[in-house]
């Protein structure tokens, strides 16, 4: 019942990019981001890019990639289990949740990989703790930087190298001296009577004023840059008529679009405009399904399915888009056995999805056995650091062991066709 949201996690996380923010990086406008595009669009088009999708709340992996052939699965959660005839078969043991038709198509096209049983040793069942572990890639001791933040540090990355379309910077993008940029998708609402000109005037810096005061002024300038872009984009959208279902994913206005679709629409625009960003962080929350799980979980999965399948299909059309790899993870799976409220409680291992035009589709790792549980929970078969390590090597061209950290030796997976 503790309705954990992405926002609350972000606010509650131990990693706040204090150091990096104090060093003057952080908020940046989408307009400014798009302005970085012009320099060398062909270079940007050839650069590999990562889109990291975080599912906040702990996704029920067993009802996402369903072990439909196992009787234990049906016995442990009679109200929640899916019949073998309903799931979208991936092989003779596993199938996708019935609502995930778009991702099934990507699977059939060999553009989706599923890494099975992903987690870390000694699972922590606190949302906050476990999400911190995934984002910092440090299961043993808490650290103040995210694994991508350390990559930003190590490569002396520019502010646009990593972008989050979330209200608060996610810890994964917080480094010691660098941090990803945070771009607000919602646009700006001013109190009645307060004009953009007034805010712009407050954003002017004053000669000789204290540094922090100048930074406070700078925040208003950033705010306006985002506003300018979102407005411009909305006008652009209404004048263009959506030609196909996939074109709709570009709509940025609030309304029927899910948060994830809106965020991915902005990612699409940045990638197609040739922005040199290499890492995008987006998210969907609400996966903490302790009660009455089935309907809510299906609704979340279908939103995920719609947004991702449209995005990946669109990416395949352009050279810049073909460089994109999408990684979808959650802080933990859920327990095998349903609870008394037709929901599931916090568990351990879960599947990680890797999608993209260049991804070598198929299963990786091993599905945890339902017969050999650890106190009612799935045993982890793949360390999540191997997945992130693969991303560092194959997408970002970086030394994985340097950025995963903690002395962990990553074991790369052949997830990308071109390696």
Partner 1 sequence: MSDGIDLLLRRAGFGATAVELSAARQAGYDAALSALVAPPGPDVGAMSAPIPNLGPDAYAGKRDLTYEEKVKLEDLRTAQTEQITQWWLNRMTVASHQAVEKLVFFWHGHWATSVKKVRSPQLMLQQHRTLRSAPDFKAMSRKMVTDAALNHYLDGHLNTRQAPNENLARELFELFVLGIGQYTEKDIKEAGRALTGWRFSLTKGSSVFDPRAHDAGSKNILGRRGHFAADSLVELLLTQDACPRFIAARLWYRYGSATEAIPGRLQDKMVQAFPKPLDMLRALFGDEAFHATGGTMVKQPVEWFVGAMRQLGLRPSNLPPETRKRVLRDLESLGQLPFAPPNVGGWPAGGAWLTSAAAQVRLRLAGTLAEHVSVSSLTPENLAYLLCVERWTNRTYNVLRGTQDRRLLLILGLVSPDYLVT
Binding site for partner 1 (CB under 8 A): 1-2, 8, 11-14, 16-18, 21-22, 24, 26-27, 29, 126, 128, 167-169, 182, 184, 188-194, 198-199, 201-202, 204-206, 209-210, 212-220, 222-223, 226, 291, 340-341
| Spatial distance between the Cα atoms of 367 and 217, rounded to a whole number of angstroms | 53
Q: In angstroms, what is the minimal distance from the CB of 259 to partner 1? A: 15
Distance in Å, CB of 177 to partner 1, minimum: 13
Q: Which among 222, 232, 241 has a CA at the least distance from the CA of 273? A: 232
Cβ 220 to partner 1 shortest distance, Å: 5
Whole-angstrom distance, CA of residue 401 vs CA of residue 36: 30
Q: Provide, rounded to whole angstroms, the least separation between the CB of residue 382 and partner 1.
A: 27
Q: Compare residues 98 and 187 and give the one whose CB is closer to partner 1.
A: 187
Select 107 or 287, whichever has its Cβ closest to partner 1: 287
In the complex, minimum distance from the CB of residue 132 to partner 1, in angstroms, rounded to a whole number: 9
Question: Residue 264's Cα: distance from chain center in Å?
Answer: 10
Q: By C-beta, is 156 or 195 nearer to partner 1?
A: 195
Positive or negative, the CA dihedral 250, 331, 109, 306 is negative
Q: Which is nearer to partner 1, 191 or 407 (CB)?
A: 191
Minimum CB separation from partner 1 for residue 178, in Å?
14
Write the CA distances from 98 to 69, 356, 365, integer angstroms. Answer: 15, 21, 23
For partner 1, give the closer residue by CB, 12 or 39: 12
Least separation in angstroms between residue 19's CB and partner 1 is 9
Cα 120 off chain centre by: 19
2 vs 375, which CB is nearer to partner 1? 2
What is the C-alpha separation between 393 and 357, in angstroms, rounded?
17
Paired tokens of 248: 């709709």
Nearest residue (CB) to partner 1, 2 versus 372: 2
DSSP string spanning 156-191?
A: T--GGGEEE-SSS--GGGB-SS-B-EE--SS-----
Q: Nearest 5 degrees, angle CA 361-CA 355-CA 126?
A: 115
Alpha-carbon dihedral angle through residues 29, 33, 34, 35, given to the nearest 10 degrees: 100
Query: Toward partner 1, which CB reaches closer, 22 or 84?
Result: 22
Q: How far apart are alpha carbons 317 and 191 in whole angstroms?
A: 42
Nearer to partner 1, 169 or 320 (CB): 169
Q: Which residue has the tokens 């947004």?
A: 307
Q: How far is the CB of 363 from partner 1 (least distance, A)?
A: 36
- Report whether 339 contacts 76 (CB < 8 A): no
Closest contact distance (angstroms) between CB of 135 and partner 1 is 13
Tokens (6 digits) for 341: 């409220």
* CA–CA distance, 32 with 214 (Å, rounded to integer): 19
């Amino acid at each position: 019942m503790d309705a954990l949201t992405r926002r609350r996690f972000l606010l509650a996380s131990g990693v706040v990019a204090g150091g990096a923010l104090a060093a003057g990086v952080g908020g940046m406008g989408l307009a400014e981001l798009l302005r970085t595009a012009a320099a060398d669009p062909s270079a940007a088009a050839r650069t590999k890019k990562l889109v990291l999708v975080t599912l906040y709340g702990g996704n029920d992996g067993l009802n996402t990639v369903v072990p439909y052939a196992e009787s234990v699965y049906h016995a442990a959660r009679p109200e929640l289990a899916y019949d073998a005839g309903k799931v979208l078969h991936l092989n003779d043991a596993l199938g996708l949740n019935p609502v995930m038709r778009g991702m099934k198509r990507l699977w059939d096209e060999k553009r989706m990989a599923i890494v099975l049983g992903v987690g870390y040793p000694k699972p922590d069942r606190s949302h906050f703790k476990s999400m911190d572990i995934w984002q910092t890639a440090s299961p043993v001791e808490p650290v103040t930087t995210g694994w991508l933040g350390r990559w930003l540090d190590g490569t002396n990355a520019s502010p646009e190298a990593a972008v989050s379309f979330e209200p608060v910077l996610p810890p994964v993008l917080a480094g010691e001296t660098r941090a990803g940029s945070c771009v607000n998708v919602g646009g700006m609402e001013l109190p009645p009577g307060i004009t953009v000109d007034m805010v712009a005037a407050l954003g002017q810096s004053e000669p000789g004023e204290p540094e922090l005061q100048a930074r406070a002024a700078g925040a208003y300038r950033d705010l306006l840059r985002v506003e300018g872009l979102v407005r411009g984009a909305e006008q652009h959208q209404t004048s263009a008529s959506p030609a196909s279902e996939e074109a709709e994913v570009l709509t940025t206005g609030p309304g029927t679009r899910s948060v994830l679709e809106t965020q991915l629409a902005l990612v699409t625009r940045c990638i197609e405009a040739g922005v040199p960003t290499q890492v995008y962080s987006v998210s969907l929350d609400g996966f903490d399904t302790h009660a009455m799980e089935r309907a809510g979980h299906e609704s979340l999965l279908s939103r995920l399915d719609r947004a991702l399948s449209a995005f990946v299909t669109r990416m395949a059309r352009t050279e810049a888009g073909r460089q994109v790899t999408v990684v979808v993870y959650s802080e933990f799976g859920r327990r095998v056995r349903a609870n008394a409220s037709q929901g599931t409680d916090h568990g351990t291992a879960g599947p990680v999805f890797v999608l993209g035009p260049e991804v070598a589709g198929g299963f990786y790792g091993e599905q945890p056995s339902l017969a050999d549980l650890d106190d009612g929970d799935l045993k982890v078969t793949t360390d999540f650091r191997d997945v992130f390590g693969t991303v560092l090597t194959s997408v970002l061209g970086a030394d994985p062991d340097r950025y995963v950290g903690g002395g962990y030796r990553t074991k790369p997976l052949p997830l990308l066709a071109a390696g």
